Amino acid sequence: MLGDGLKAGLTQAGYAVDWLRDGEAAVAALSTESFAAVVLDLGLPKRDGLSVLQWLRGRHDATPVLILTARDRLEDRVRGLDLGADDYVLKPFDLDEIAARLRALVRRAHGRPEPVLTLGEIELNPAARSVTRGGQAVELTPREFDLLHLLLQNADRVLTRRTLEEQLYTWNDAVDSNALEVHIHHLRKKLGNDLIRTVRGVGYMATMSAPAA
């Protein structure tokens, strides 16, 4: 059922999709055909998803791989990235998010830069990892950049604290502190107070215009 939805969604997003229902079939397909990218569910029957990934990288096949993993299987995600996965998405997943990340992966694989993100007077260049405000360069630390990147990719949409922390800290899930708040604070200091809106009790959202007083 999960596969059905995923296939339908990605097809609608403009991809040609081959859906292999177990690890063995996936290996068989990957040995004979060439794909732009692979979406790999780590909970595959017959042959474990991680072993498929390991096998693929063992052949020096650089096809971009996006892994799908359950929220409570943190160690799988870490192992997946270690084995050469390019990105991951947590289940239950959002179709738009998968489509967007796939597109980014395929772009990168072709050596094409990801498009610049713009919101108001802020501009973020993922390839150069640079940010400008009103045309003027702004220096951000790595964490600040990643956080801003996430927010801009989801502009006008509330991101929960949980989501942000999960994306920001791939390995160490339990960041039991207000680190996020501190980074938000630094971003606001550098980019202006209007860019990032607090949604009390939920999270944060990047948005262009301030609300009507």
Partner DNA sequence: TCTCCTTCTTAAGGTTTCCCTAAGCTGACA
Partner DNA sequence: TGTCAGCTTAGGGAAACCTTAAGAAGGAGA
**Interacting residues with its own copies (CB under 8 A):** 14, 57, 60, 62, 77, 81-82, 84, 87-88, 96, 103, 107, 110-116, 118, 123, 127-129, 136-137, 139, 141-142, 154-158, 199-202, 205, 207, 211-212
End-to-end CA distance of the chain: 46
Q: Which is nearer to its own copies, 20 or 74 (CB)?
A: 74
Q: Which is nearer to DNA, 2 or 175 (CB)?
A: 175
Minimum CB distance to DNA, residue 209 (Å): 18
- Residue 181 binding result from DNA, its own copies, none, given CB thresholds of 5 to 8 Å by partner type: DNA
- Residue 176 binding result from its own copies, DNA, none, given CB thresholds of 5 to 8 Å by partner type: DNA
For residue 71, give both structure tokens: 């929220």
Give 69-129 as a DSSP string.
EETT-HHHHHHHHHTT--EEEEESP-HHHHHHHHHHHHHHHTTPPPPPEEETTEEEETTTT
Cα atoms in the 13 Å half-sphere on the side-chain side of 34? 2
Q: What is the contact surface with DNA in residues (CB under 7 A)?
A: 139, 141-144, 161, 168-169, 175-179, 181-185, 188, 198-203
